Amino acid sequence: MRVMPGLKYRGLYRVSLQLMLVLVALSFLMLNLYYFVTGYGGDILHTVTVVPLALAMLSLDRALKTTSRVLLTVNLVLALASLFVAFYLRLNFYDLLIYRLVHTYFDLFVALLVMLIALWIIWGTYKVIFILIIVLMIYSVYGKYLPDPLFHPGVSWTRVLTGLTIEFEVGIFGPLAKLGATLLAAVFLVTTIAYVFRVPESIIKIFLYIVGGRRYLTPYASVGSSALIAMSTGSAAADVAITGQFTIPLMIKSGFKQEIAASIASTASTAALITPPIMGIAAFLIAESLGVHYWEVALRGFYMAFIFYAVLSYSLLIIILTMMRNAPSTGMVGGRSTELDEVAGRPGLVDIARVALFVGLLLYLVYTLGVLWWSVARASYTGVMIFLPAFIVLELLAVKGTIKLKLESVARLLYDYIVVYARETSSIIVLLACLGMVVGVFTLTGWVLRLFSLLIGVGAENIVLLLILAYVVGLILGMGLPPTGTYVILSVLTLPALIQLGVNPWIAHFFAFYVATLGEVTPPVAPAVVVGAQIARSDLFKTGFAAIRLLAPLFLFAFAIIQRGSFILDPMPRTEVLLDLLYLLVGLLSLSTALFAPFTNSRVLDVILRGATLILGLTLALGIIKDNNANEIATVALLTVILITTYRLIRSPSRPQ
């Protein structure tokens, strides 16, 4: 069959683009590894080089994915322009940083070019951030025409352009981008191993096999696998995408409604942001803001993840027991069925070996970060140097066939590792670079100082009102921004006022961190819920409502750590820390009991008992009562209610349909 010349050239064009993408990805990886090992040039020079490379990587990736000739050409041109920017800024770095007092027209052209490319990329992923940047830039120039409290003297367009780009202090090449190009780029060396070598699939197979004998335990396969995978992803949407493709269909087949199955996977994956050793991006920003080692943040994350998973698991237990009691005909009490093998398959020795290597890598990170106090970059790249060859050897042993087939499989995995690492790391770097522009505009205008004075005035009257205001602002921002963006804006706008009014910096940052985490399940954006709903083919808003309902007790966790946050102030297991954890855990568990468990068949008495449990649980969790004896009495009373209610659900006969 004769191939048409147009199709032939189009195929060659695609191959050329693919080759170009691989070369950029390989350069990106090698440049990062060289910097991690040697520290050559310093973090600013590295950031100035890596950010344009990240823009080129994402532009090429889009060019390969689009079917439009126009968009393909645009993205290719932008990729070439990004490579030119990287070359120009690296060659002229010291002139721009130190010697050049007045920028040339060509400097301004390069600055405009890199800003436009960054805006083009962010428009395709986070339109809310794009709109926010445009609005703030217009405000920075024309704010002089606005009344108080929005008035500011205004800056020129040239000042906005240079301040957000080639001055390197804030904006595209500022501290946020620097964090992504140095610290997070090292972390992604580890997380990419898990993706490429299919570790999450092996984890899910093992968890599903463990709980497969009891259909009603399938939600715990989602929680358990999410917890383990979360230790290496730091992304709720990625976590639910990995686990949900297996656990959501199985939960639906086990009798759970589509929106319930999707909400369980989404809420379980939300904790990925607060689960060490690799937490969400905001955790690294906290370490940078407080000037501490990342492991100090991770230690506090262990406590938060424990409380989150404990409360979520108990809420699921109550919901499952109630469903079994009210709807025995759903088949949830059946034994193992063929659906398990259809969804995930039985785990083999290779799966067990993959998980063992993965756990070994996590333990290596814990040891090097927590005991040896190595930097995150050093712990990450040395861990990859040790464990990547082990994963390759395992793959060689796992592939059956000739030596040629084995080598082809390894080559394909190494190719995937290079491309996936460059693409995922580039996405984070560009996101942080664009958030840096948001922060940069606030800095250039000086308006944040005016807001600081206003918030100090509000907090001086009532700090609780300021906390509620920050919480509401965080939830609203979370409806349109990723958790990192929500945390960054909260840390700029509200945290300085909270800290000035006496809230401990650790508490203030973790308050903002946790509020930002909740954005993963708050519609309309809710990336974790969106992914879960797509897999389950359920209604987005029904799934979002179910996820919010399931996490309802944990929505108060942010306020609870203000009063019960001794484990954040000092994570060492002292008496005060353990008591705060106990009071907080019992209080939140009692809220789950009041919200989800039936107390009695009498409607009036049921409402009274639920209300009493809810009020007492809120009092204990939020630390409203300061007397230790009263707290102990409340703890014993609530534990009694929790145990009796759970026991009654377990022992009560199922209601007929």
Summarised one tens digit per residue, pLDDT across range 549-587 is 888 899 989 999 898 889 999 888 888 899 999 999 999
- The CA distance from 356 to 360, in Å, is 6
- Averaged pLDDT for residues 28-51: 95
CB 176 within 8 A of CB 434: no
The pLDDT, as a whole number, for residue 541 is: 84
| This prediction's pTM | 0.87
- The CA distance from 159 to 137, in Å, is 11
What is the per-residue DSSP string for 366-395? Answer: HHHHHTS---HHHHHHHHHHHHHHHHHHHH
Q: 277 Cβ partners below 8 Å, 6+ apart?
A: 231, 298, 362, 365, 366, 369
Is the pLDDT score of 654 beyond 60?
Answer: no
Please name the helix (run of DSSP H) or strand (run of DSSP E) that holds residue 313, with its range, or none.
Answer: helix 294-326
Q: Tell me the residue length of the chain.
A: 657
- The CA distance from 178 to 42, in Å, is 10
Band of pLDDT at residue 59, cut at 50, 70 and 90: very high
- Averaged pLDDT for residues 86-99: 89
Summarised one tens digit per residue, pLDDT across range 404-434 is 898 899 999 999 999 999 999 999 999 999 9
Summarised one tens digit per residue, pLDDT across range 248-288 is 888 887 778 888 888 888 888 887 788 888 888 888 999 99
- The CA distance from 427 to 53, in Å, is 11
- Buried-state track 257-287, b at ≥16 Cβ within 10 A, e below 16: bbbbbbbbbbbbbbbbbbbbbbbbbbbbbbb
- Averaged pLDDT for residues 630-634: 92
Any idea where the domains of the chain sit in the sequence? 11-175, 197-347+446-657
Kindly tell me the number of DSSP H helices and DSSP E strands found in the chain. Answer: 31, 0
- The CA distance from 383 to 387, in Å, is 6
- The CA distance from 648 to 652, in Å, is 6
- The CA distance from 140 to 156, in Å, is 8
In this structure, which amino acid lies at residue 331? G
Other beta carbons within 10 angstroms of residue 224's beta carbon come to 23
- pLDDT > 70: percent of the chain: 90
- The CA distance from 346 to 348, in Å, is 6
Is the pLDDT score of 611 beyond 90?
Answer: yes
Is the pLDDT score of 337 beyond 70?
Answer: no
CB 191 within 8 A of CB 361: no
- The CA distance from 525 to 129, in Å, is 13
Summarised one tens digit per residue, pLDDT across range 165-179 is 998 888 999 999 999
Tokens (6 digits) for 274: 């607060």
- Averaged pLDDT for residues 380-392: 95
Tokens (6 digits) for 97: 């940083």
Per-residue H/E/C for 4-44:
CHHHHHHHHHHHHHHHHHHHHHHHHHHHHHHHHHHCCCHHH
Quote the distance between the C-alpha of residue 342 and its chain's center.
30
Is the pLDDT score of 329 beyond 70?
Answer: no
Q: 282 Cβ partners below 8 Å, 6+ apart?
A: 273, 483, 484, 487, 488, 512, 513, 516, 517
Q: Looking up tokens 């299919």, which residue turns up?
A: 198
CB 159 within 8 A of CB 411: no
- The CA distance from 352 to 306, in Å, is 25
